[in-house]
Structure 1
Amino acid sequence: MFKPENLRKNFMRAKQLADQNLGRTEKTEVLSEDLQSVEKRVDQVKDVSTRTTKKIEAWVKTSSSEYEKRLKKMPETSLAISMIESAGVLGNETLMGNLYQMCGECQSNLASHLLNHDISVEKAVLQPMQEILDVEIPAINKFKKNLTKTTLDMDSLKTRWHQAVKQTQVSGTNMQQAANKADTMKEHYEDSCARMEQARDQLTTEMYNFIAREPEHSQKLLSLLEIQQAYHKKALDELDKTIPKMRDTLECNPHKPVYGLPLEEHLRVTGRDVALVIEACIVTIIEGGGMEEEGLFRIAGMASRVKKLKTSFDAGVVDMDEYALDIHSVAGALKQYLRELPEPLLTYYLYQDFINVLSLPQNQRLQALWKVVHDLPEPNYNNFR
């Protein structure tokens, strides 16, 4: 119900506030310097909590959806599904299909770990920090507003009391009536002082309680890092489990490119004693009568044919029958293979020994050369002979 006295009271408060802001009336500072410092500290905590909460909300992509729905919306899950589907298209028995499958499963597990991380951050960090902004700060503001109101009332009554006292000193005034009014205003003023002190005590208690909980509020920052630590550890464990499996699969794959691969590596993954290129080319040359071919290893084969044969070896789909009548291209592919070995077939280590053989007398060279050849590592020796 509308009450005229309430309207008048609110008008007087507004007038008093305007007068104080314009410096026309005295404004009582009811908070001590210590309390003002506490109030400033509360405002600082509010500001940093607001900024941090907004950043975390944008970072963890908070959502009220169910776990499975949130998991499906994650980019890592989408990538995992795509990779696993790709593995099915390529065939899990193939190298790339196998790696797609392993990588997709890893991405799926990483997505689960990340979602669990986000949910933990929401519960242990974001929600408590949001409670500071939604509950604790509004409670302080409520008491602060009440203190402002009671202080305005007190200052207003103080002004009116002083005016009433001055009125008793004006000649021609009903002195008794003026004195009674001054006494009444004094009583109202004293009551307002008591209400102001009560409001100040309530605000002080609330702010002190808030500041006393600073260690509790700060704990949320430690919780954030602990949650991140746990997530990164799980993610690292997942990667540590998957990466070696993928690396082993690649290293043990027998279909690696042949050209440019170290000899020992090629022999290991293929389970051979003699390199595929060396064996296939030598057999083709011998069976095709290449030993009688003029300019063998001197006359270059057709460049496109040599390149095609080389890529056929790398792809693991070579058909040497196609080159039975093209001995020079076969010889060119063999020379190319030997040229691209990371370490020469005769090795860098024994290079000087082979050179030294040339400085020996003619009748000693064969025996010395035979000795150096037998010093070759076993894989190199088997392929050289």
Structure 2
Amino acid sequence: MLRQSLSILKQFGSLAKSQDASELLHEDLVVVDQRVEPAKKAAQVLYKKLQGCMQSQPGLEAEKRMKKLPLMLLSISMAESLKDFDAESSIRKVLEMCCFMEKMLANMLADFEMKVEKTVLEPLNKLSEEDLPEILKNKKQFAKLRTDWNNARSRSQASTGPQAKQDVLREEVEEAWRKLENIKDQYSADLYHFATKEDDYANYFIRLLELQAEYHKNSHEFLNKNISELKENHSQKGPPLSLSNHKVYGEPLLSHLFESNRDIAVPIQECIHMLLRTGMREEGLFRLAAAASVVKRLKTCLDQETVDHSEFSMDPHAVAGALKCYLRELPEPLMTFELYNDWFKAAGEKDLTEKLEQFKVLLKKLPPENYNNLRYLVQFLSLLSEQQAVNKMTPSNIAIVLGPNLLWPRAEGEAALFDMASASSVQVVTVIEPLIQYSSSLFPEDISFEIPELPEIPDGTLSAPVAQSLISEKEKLSRTVSSSSSTASSCSSFHLSLSKTNSTASQDSGGFFLVKVRLSESQHLYLGQPCS
């Protein structure tokens, strides 16, 4: 009878626990519990949609990210398009500004997307893939253990068997309850944490709007400012066009010289002038490539004979590239098709003296216009090789990169490409390298490399003592390339001529300090001194 009474009391206790179990979570947590699943779904969906709005590849650094942007590709296309216009074209001027503006907009966009990725996308992804799934995992476990506890309790209540069996069932109920209590505590803690962080999660979307507002504001201000400047400049009419009708690139050498009444081709002379000023100490000159757009723009200016030295002198690799293009695009190489095999035969001579004699014979066979331009170019290359300790361009290196542009066989179609490739081998180096090394012997004529006037500085910048000391050094500093002034390994030099210009001074990157000193009201002197 006593046992039956105890059994009834325990059953009532189980009923009480059942009522408590149906409301295991705090009332506030029940509301939070209902927000977890929608939050995960929203984070997943919006992460994917926002990622789809991004124009750059995620995870890249700023520079690489910017290169992939459509705006940057547009800027590059504008740069490629404008190079075909002459320097005074209004389309070119507008495209130059647009190219710059699109590049800056691409930079702003890349910066904006990096911020969105860091402060919005990455937190949303972590929320949807790590934080909330962990909460939902505990929720699922909580539901399972609650079901286990209810089932165990139902079995215990329905049992009418021996007392021992009922005791076992009651122990199962108690064990299930302990597990349920543990997971309830853990899940409740998760929900409390979610509740405290919910405002932070909402701030992800506010941060997105703030970043968008900042990006659009900066872009708008930048566009307004530069569009106004562009319109103002565009409305100002430039000087009348004065263009040459003579094409230079791709034209026969003799035709160009006859039409322009010159002895030295415009691209050869102009490019060498610019390189003498700023390129003599430039490492890898003729070997390192420049931006194709700059080279093409310079080629266009040379075609029109409207080269602005101040625009291109600061990019010696572009100048060297334009010079190489001219030599390569000649219908016939400077060293002629006719003598192609003879050059290699002479280069194969073992005895140096005999080799040089054969070279001299071949040089005399060149047409006068080819000889004059080859002499001018080779003597410049000899000067360039004197700076090899700095520019790394030895006669051999120069021959490797320039040889295929000076000598190639007569061929057509694919055969021409194959033979051009063959001419760039060691064979052509054996021809061009000795020309540079022994230029003073092979080209005995004097040659004057005259450098165009430099940008003006106000009169009086040079003090009287400095000017006087420079004048006194005239004979020591003026140098003329001649057969007796140097050997292949000695320093060649060039003559710096008188010019009717204002006093100027300039430090050039080619290793020469160039100064024009006032001699009288009408005469000034260029002086050149190697820089230390």
Q: Normalized against structure 1, the TM-score is what?
A: 0.53
Q: Residue type of the partner of 1:202?
A: Q
Shift of 1:231: 1.3
- Residue 47 of structure 1, aligned match among 34, 41, 56: 41
- Count of paired positions: 219
Q: Is residue 223 from structure 1 mapped to residue 207 from structure 2 by the alignment?
A: yes
The one-letter code of the counterpart of 1:226 is: E
Any residues of structure 2 matched to 1:324-363 within 5 Å, and which? Answer: none
- Of 67, 91, 95, 2:90 maps to 95
1:128 aligns with 2:123: yes
Secondary structure, aligned partner of 1:135? helix
Decide whether the 8 Å contact of 2:82 with 2:95 is kept in 1.
yes
The structure, 1 or 2, with the larger RCO (C-alpha pairs under 8 Å, 6+ apart) is 1
- Which one has the bigger helix percentage? 1
* Matched position secondary structure for 1:91: coil
How far 1:255 moved relative to its partner?
8.2
Aligned partner of 1:108 in structure 2 is: 103
Equivalent position amino acid for 2:221 in 1:
D
Which residue of 214, 219, 238 corresponds with 2:222? 238
Residue-by-residue CA offset, 1:216-268 (whole Å, 9 max, x unaligned): 11221221122112212221232123201210122112589xxxxxxxxxxxx
Measured after TM superposition, the shift of residue 125 of structure 1 is 0.7
- Corresponding position: 1:118 with 2:113: yes
Q: CA deviation at 1:162?
A: 2.1
**Backbone CA RMSD of aligned residues:** 2.2
Between the aligned partners of 2:38 and 2:148, the Cα distance in structure 1 is 29
Rate the CA distance shift 1:92–1:80 in 2: closer, same or farther, 3 A: farther
Q: Distance in 1 between matches of 2:239 and 2:176?
A: 92
Are residues 1:64 and 2:69 paired? no
Displacement after TM superposition at 1:89 (Å):
1.2
Aligned ranges 1:236-385 → 2 under 5 Å = 236-253=220-237
Post-superposition shift, 1:182? 0.6
Distance in 1 between residues matched to 2:28 and 2:202, nearest whole Å: 22
8 Å Cα contact 1:95-1:253 kept in structure 2: no
SS in 1 for 2:59: coil
Offset, 1:94? 1.6
Question: 2:192 aligned with 1:193, yes or no?
Answer: no
2:165 corresponds to? 181
- Cα displacement (A) at 1:110: 0.2
Tell me how far 1:159 sits from its aligned partner: 2.4
Q: Partners in 2 of 1:44 and 1:255 — Cα distance? A: 68
- What residue in structure 1 maps to residue 30 of structure 2? 36
Of all paired residues, the percent bearing the same amino acid is: 29
3-state SS of paired residue (2:119): helix
Partner of residue 138 from structure 1, selected from 128, 133, 139 = 133
Shift of 1:98: 0.4
Structure 1 gaps, min length 5: 1-26, 168-177, 257-385
Secondary structure of the corresponding residue to residue 89 of structure 1 = coil
8 Å contact from structure 2 (residues 58, 117) kept in 1: no
Secondary structure of 2:237's counterpart equals coil
Corresponding residue for residue 77 of structure 2:
82
The answer to whether the Cα contact below 8 Å between 1:99 and 1:246 also exists between their aligned partners in 2 is yes
Distance in 2 (alpha carbons) for counterparts of 1:143 and 1:74: 43
Q: Counterpart of 2:76 in structure 1: which amino acid? A: I
CA deviation after TM superposition for structure 1 residue 30, in Å: 4.5
Aligned to 1:152: 147
2:67 alignment partner, SS class: helix
Whole-angstrom distance in 2 between the partners of 1:247 and 1:30: 72
Mapped to 2, the partners of 1:68 and 1:34 lie a distance apart of 49
Q: Is the 8 A contact 1:80 1:108 kept in 2?
A: yes
Distance of 2:168 and 2:73 partners within structure 1? 77
Instruction: Determine the C-alpha separation between the residues in 2 that align with 1:137 and 1:47.
Output: 10
CA distance in structure 2 between the aligned counterparts of 1:28 and 1:195, rounded to whole angstroms:
15
Q: Check conservation: 1:92, 1:101, Cα contact below 8 A.
A: no
Matching residue's letter, 1:50: Q
| Stretches of 4+ aligned residues off by more than 6 angstroms | none
Conservation of the 8 A alpha-carbon contact between 1:136 and 1:210? no
Which residue type is aligned with residue 219 of structure 2? A
Q: Secondary structure at the match of 2:143?
A: helix
- Structure 1 pair 121–130 and aligned structure 2 pair: CA distance change class (3 A): same
Aligned to 2:352: none
Q: CA deviation at 1:149?
A: 2.4
CA positional deviation for 1:155: 1.9
What are the superposed Cα offsets for residues 29-50 of structure 1, whole Å, 9 maximum, x if unpaired?
7446543321112222222222
Alpha-carbon distance in 1 for matches of 2:118, 2:61: 15
Q: Which amino acid aligns with 2:35?
A: R
Amino acid at match of 2:120: V
Residues 98-129 of structure 1: CA deviation (Å, up to 9, x unaligned): 00000011000000100110110000111111
> Aligned equivalents of 2:87 and 2:75: distance in 1?
15
Name the structure 2 match of 1:359.
none
For 2:53, the aligned partner's letter is: W
* Residue identity in the other structure for 1:49: A
Confirm or deny: 8 A CA contact 2:41 2:128 kept in the other structure: no
1:240-299 residue CA offsets vs partner (Å, 9 max, x unmatched): 23201210122112589xxxxxxxxxxxxxxxxxxxxxxxxxxxxxxxxxxxxxxxxxxx
Aligned to 1:90, the other structure's residue is in SS state coil
* Deviation by residue 1:131-176 (Cα, 9 ceiling, x = unmatched): 1111211110121122122112212211221233x22xxxxxxxxx
Q: Distance in 2 between matches of 1:78 and 1:104?
A: 10
C-alpha contact 1:28 1:155 (8 A) present in aligned 2: no
